[in-house]
Structure 1
């Protein structure tokens, strides 16, 4: 039987894909490869990108993966076996692991979360501190009486619940690229929030971190590793409307950090009463931090 041109070129095509720096590809990248290599591979002009992809899916190592997020569906093509975290971080530019997933990557939990959190940071910021209205105690009380806002932008894939969070613009503050170990024990080069930014993010959004007991455990496990100077500098730059430093100070104290470290948080102004989390039910008041926490916590 006569072989087609694409069948004749298969070995060269496979070699080319094997040598690509990334084995996660978007449709436009595959189209570009076909356009660049068509003459070298002597492929017919009638061979479309769809034909090319269909051939590689049937006769080589190309797979299509789809993530139908409610806000915007994402799909990619994977060449061979690629760790899930690598695939997810390749779906859009500048995504990073955050919250519970960053906690796990930094060894800040003893659990094995089945949820993955990835943040897609907005490209421009909101109004500056000077322009936004000053919060009143009533504003804070009202906000934390109600349930926290939770993203619905998630999909289930390979036994995991994957959240693609729409993050506030921070200029990717505290985001680093490091080698982390995924659930399968494989090493992955990943963008993620550093230790200090992760502690801040989970104190702000405990619902994305397994809850306040997991957050408290993370602060304990970070003791001796986290730089409180760096944490405070990051907190100042993030410039939150709400006084999350009061919650962070409480977590540090509860975890038994040195008083000299906690003093770095104590220097930040305390102007209002605050809440450790939303919808707490029965609470007790921690006078030093002007903070309401759940009874028994």
Structure 2
């Protein structure tokens, strides 16, 4: 039986994909490869991208990963055996690992989370936050924390794709991280200071306030409060999250000079360590309600 043109060109196609700098592709990138290489590979003019992908899936190392997020499904075309973490970093441009996933990558937990958190930043910087009254803060934090529904289950993992405020990727770094199989991935993730801020703002995305407190404890000899404070100022939250951060720092035994950097920030209102706490006590030094026994 005569071989088709794409079968004849298979060795050249495989060689081309083997040399790609990034083995994780979007559909447009696969289409662009087909367009630019069609003549060299002598493929039929009527060979479609769907046919090209189907052939590679059946006869080469191409794998197709589907991520059916409720807000928008994402598909990745992966060449070879690539760690899931590396695949996820390429499902959207410039996404980064955050919250509990960054906590784990930075060594700030003793747990092995089964959830993966990715953040996709909006392009624009947020507008100036509104001035809040005490009653508005009270009403907001008496209600449950608003959590994203944009997550999927894949195997034994839950994968969350969060929509983040545009910050110009403030505090996002690239550093090696291990996947579950011990393979090293060059990961984009929030650095120590930004991670501690993010999990203070959204403790539910980090295992809850006890896990957040543990992260502050494990970060004590590594985090720079001198870097954290200007980052906090730049993020310019409407709510006084610095009061919660100050409490976590004090609870973890940080130095008085480090605590003073937080105390210099204004404390105009009472605040809450988390949403919807059933039983609380009041920490006068930080004007903060925290769970009883915490």
- Return the alpha-carbon distance in structure 1 between the equivalents of residues 47 and 72 of structure 2: 30
The corresponding residue for 2:21 is 21
Instruction: Indicate the SS of the match to 2:210.
Output: helix
Q: Secondary structure at the match of 2:233?
A: helix
Measured on the aligned residues, the alpha-carbon RMSD in Å equals: 0.9
Task: Output aligned runs, 1:46-195, within 5 Å.
Answer: 46-129=46-129, 132=130, 134-195=131-192
- Of the three residues 219, 222, 227, the one matched with 1:225 is 222
User: What secondary structure sits across from 1:3 in the alignment?
Assistant: coil
Unaligned ranges ≥5, structure 1 = none
Deviations 1:43-77 (A, max 9, x none): 11122111111110111011111111111111111
SS of residue in 2 equivalent to 1:28: helix
Q: Which residues of structure 2 form unaligned runs of 5+?
A: none
1:69 aligns to what SS in structure 2?
A: coil
3-state SS, counterpart of residue 36 of structure 2: helix
Q: Distance in 2 between matches of 1:190 and 1:215?
A: 22
By how many angstroms is 1:39 displaced? 1.3
3-state DSSP of counterpart to 1:65: strand
Partner of 2:7: 7
TM-score w.r.t. length of structure 2? 0.98
Equivalents in 2 of 1:288, 1:282: separation in Å? 19
Which position in structure 2 is the counterpart of 1:197? 194
| 1:2-59 per-position Cα deviation (integer Å, ceiling 9, x unaligned) | 2222111111111110110111111111111111111111111122111111110111
Q: What secondary structure sits across from 1:156 in the alignment?
A: strand
**Matching of residue 248 in structure 1 with residue 245 in structure 2:** yes
1:212 correspondence with 2:209:
yes
With normalisation by structure 1, the TM-score equals 0.97
Deviating more after overlay: 38-47 vs 207-216: 38-47
* CA distance in 2 between partners of 1:50 and 1:145 (Å): 51
**Equivalents in 1 of 2:85, 2:218: separation in Å?**
23
**4+ residue runs over 6 A deviation:** none
* Cα deviation digits, residues 125-181 of structure 1 (max 9, x gap): 33224xx3x111101110000000000000111321000001111111111111111
